[in-house]
Amino acid sequence: MDTVNLSAAPARSGNSAADARERARAFLDGLLPPVTSEAAGTVLLVVSELVTNALRHAGGTWSLELTAHPDGIEVAVHDPSPQAPRPRTPDLNGRTGGFGWPLVTRLARTTAITPRHRRPSWGR
């Protein structure tokens, strides 16, 4: 697989995590050779969690960048928040979350945050 890149900015501020998953699914479906269903599911989960975090904590403005490398898929979500994601105690009663960033860091081979345009990056 050659390196393939897709930049998918939302059509308007406040698009949903479902929209991001749909764009990621279309990107993954177009790759040759195809990714495994397990890898695709993991990428979709990471996209969903990162975009949900941007919607919840960064004012709803985000953009998605996906890059296919020979050894994995890189996921980057950009948002305008000056604050980096931080772990917090998960709410076991289901009201305030706290599971997303720990989940992303467990699923990712690596994560990186670029200040100024907070850019979590995930590679699988």
Q: Return the pLDDT at 98.
A: 80
Q: Return the pLDDT at 60.
A: 80
Q: Return the pLDDT at 8.
A: 52
Indicate the SS3 state at residue 1: coil
Sheet with 63-69, edge to edge strand ranges = 4-8, 63-69, 72-78, 121-123, 110-112
Q: Return the pLDDT at 74.
A: 92
Q: Return the pLDDT at 10.
A: 45
d(CA 81, CA 92): 26
92 is written with which tokens? Answer: 């076991």
Residue 119 Cα to chain centre, angstroms: 10
Q: What stretches in the chain show pLDDT beneath 50?
A: 9-14, 117-118
Residue 23 Cα to chain centre, angstroms: 11
Confidence (pTM): 0.80
Q: Are 51 and 20 a contacting pair, CB within 8 Å?
A: yes
Q: Return the pLDDT at 83.
A: 83
Interval 47-79: pLDDT, tens: 999 999 888 888 888 889 999 988 889 999 988
Q: Return the pLDDT at 70.
A: 87
